[in-house]
Amino acid sequence: MKERIDPNLYNDLEKFGIDVGNWNECYHCGNCTATCPLTEKGSLFPRKEIRFLQLGLKNELATSAEPWLCYYCGDCSKKCPRDANPGELMMSLRRYLTSIYDWTGLAKRIYTSKIFEIATILVISLIVMVLYLNFTFFPSGEGAWTGNDGGVLINKIAPWKRIHFGDWLMAGTLAFFLITNIFNMWLNIIVKDKSVKVPFIAYFTEVFSVVINFFTQKRFNKCDNDNKPYWVIHLFLMLSYVMLFTMIVFFLQWFQTDSVHPVWHPQRLLGYISTIGLFVGIIYFINNRIKKAKENSKYSHYTDWTFLVMLFLTTLTGILLHFFRINGMAQATYITYLIHLMCLVPMLTIEVPFSKWSHLAYRPFAIYFANVKKSALKKQVKL
């Protein structure tokens, strides 16, 4: 395949954070690739990506799965004699690729304009507020506000069926964008690469890698011991999020109750475990980014902060909501529920298909597509 050199590639990538390291100073000693615990025969990143960037090979970058195979341990950046910061470069490429897969153009706008991202969050929050005030039964009498007419009746104010309808609408919309973006990823990584002919069967033999890598993030485990806590906390955070998301989207009737169950009740236990997972993860990652002691937390793109702040606010309002409800504080519960939704909905709408959180889906699928190609190549060599 003939490659076109794009002289504007650097300018395109600048706003995704690519200018953090001296990547143009790289003299291809190969230290980074030799150091990387995840690179292997056939995928010699991150040096290869730096070469693509230096040569302006936009198509090679856009069709590469390798930025997703990196888990950003930061070892390569520590060992680079030219301060090229290949670890952060791979991170920036993941942002760039997210915008390449996204056909709506929203990911690019979110990753390249702070104002656009904040304005989008505010607009979605306002829409949620308007919908909530129009489709729920905000209390009118004094008794309802104080809980004197029967306690905290969250299902009377915001019936679970109505909230559930909203959940399904949101989940369906997010799934539509995410799935179509993953389809674009497949087009880029597999279909556009004419050097490999993938037999249909390879998609089936490798399908488990999506599930395994999603639920275990086991490639992270290959990074050195310094990164083990990072892997464990990242995994705990992700599983907690999946558990809460599942309870809200599929079991809201069970999760949003007016009765206060005993502490050992599965509804409360699952809620507490997931909340602890989220909170510990958020505090750990915020602390890392503030201290900048670890290589993978030295540089933060503004979208890293938006994501952490939105997740923090969503978790905090969720905790307060629960506290107010079980303590019979009706007025505080109803207001906090509204604020909680005004944080949760924009956080999910922006982060899941268009920004930081999308890596939860893109990474396992990229590993899957890379494995599919590897298996096809092996067969091609044998023939």
Q: Least distance to ligand SF4 from the beta carbon of 187, Å?
A: 25
The count of C-alpha atoms lying within 13 angstroms of the C-alpha of 193, restricted to the half-sphere facing its C-beta, is 22
Q: Which of 53, 75, 301, 366 binds ligand SF4 (CB under 6 A)?
A: 75
Radius of gyration of the chain (CA): 23
**Residues between 233 and 292 with contacts to ligand SF4, criterion CB under 6 A:** none
**Residues between 3 and 62 with contacts to ligand SF4, criterion CB under 6 A:** 26-32, 35-36, 38, 45-47, 50
Closest CA to 351 of 234, 217, 126, 177: 177
Q: Least distance to ligand SF4 from the beta carbon of 66, Å?
A: 9
Tokens of 381: 């060599």
Q: Least distance to ligand SF4 from the beta carbon of 22, Å?
A: 9
Q: Least distance to ligand SF4 from the beta carbon of 40, Å?
A: 11
- Asked if residue 59 lies in contact with residue 3, where contact means CB atoms within 8 angstroms, the answer is yes
- Asked if residue 69 lies in contact with residue 97, where contact means CB atoms within 8 angstroms, the answer is no
Helix (H), strand (E) at residue 261: none
Q: Which of 18, 84, 170, 311 binds ligand SF4 (CB under 6 A)?
A: 84
* Contact window for ligand SF4 (CB under 6 A) among 71-79, 106-114, 159-167, 264-272: 71-79
Q: Least distance to ligand SF4 from the beta carbon of 175, Å?
A: 29
**What are the φ/ψ torsions at residue 16 (nearest 5 degrees)?**
-85, 0
Q: Which of 57, 70, 310, 372 binds ligand SF4 (CB under 6 A)?
A: 70
Closest CA to 224 of 71, 359, 92: 71
Q: Least distance to ligand SF4 from the beta carbon of 31, Å?
A: 4
| Number of chain residues interacting with ligand SF4 (CB under 6 A) | 28
Question: For ligand SF4, which is the closer residue by CB, 76 or 313?
Answer: 76
Q: Least distance to ligand SF4 from the beta carbon of 71, Å?
A: 5
Helix axes 114-135, 302-326, angle to 10 degrees: 20
By CB under 6 A, residue 174 contacts ligand SF4: no
Q: Least distance to ligand SF4 from the beta carbon of 287, Å?
A: 20
Contacts of residue 294, defined as CB under 8 A and 6 or more positions apart, other chains included, come to 74, 226, 230, 288
**Residues between 88 and 147 with contacts to ligand SF4, criterion CB under 6 A:** 90
Q: Where are the beta strands (DSSP E) in the chain?
A: none
Q: Which of 58, 63, 86, 301 binds ligand SF4 (CB under 6 A)?
A: 86
B/e letters for 311-330, b = 16+ CB within 10 Å, e = fewer, are bbbbbbbbbbbbebbeeebb
- Asked if residue 38 lies in contact with residue 231, where contact means CB atoms within 8 angstroms, the answer is no
Question: For ligand SF4, which is the closer residue by CB, 90 or 311?
Answer: 90
> Which positions lie near ligand SF4, rule CB under 6 A?
26-32, 35-36, 38, 45-47, 50, 70-76, 80-82, 84, 86-87, 90
